[in-house]
């Protein structure tokens, strides 16, 4: 099984999970865009008020926080 196959299996499981709960009714463009903004805000807060230079030199602690947000929301 390839990584692409694993991804397809995961997508099917997620789709079935959502269908079983009738979540499609919540997946309107309005709702999806609102949740996207909220999730992006969690990432942006780590960079707010930093200069470009500061944002490129995050402490290991702050970088770990940013990576954690990224991992959680990649799916």
Query: Residue 1: which residues within 8 A CB-CB, separation 6 or more?
Result: 9
pLDDT, one tens digit per residue, over 9-60 is 999 998 999 999 998 888 899 999 999 999 889 889 889 999 999 999 989 9
Residues 6+ apart with CB under 8 A from 18: 24
Token readout for 65 is: 């926080």
Helices marked H in 1-75 — which ranges?
Answer: 3-20, 29-44, 52-56, 60-73
pLDDT of residue 52: 95
- pTM, entire model: 0.54
Distances (CA, A) of 49 to 31, 56, 57, 60: 28, 13, 14, 18
For the chain, give every domain's residue range.
Answer: 25-75
């Amino acid at each position: 099984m390839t990584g692409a196959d694993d991804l397809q299996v995961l997508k099917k499981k997620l789709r079935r999970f959502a269908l079983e709960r009738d979540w499609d009714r919540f997946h309107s463009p309005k709702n999806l865009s609102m949740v996207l903004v909220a999730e992006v805000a969690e990432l942006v807060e780590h960079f707010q008020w930093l200069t470009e230079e500061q944002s490129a030199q995050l402490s290991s602690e702050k970088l770990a926080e940013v990576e954690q947000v990224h991992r959680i929301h990649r799916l």
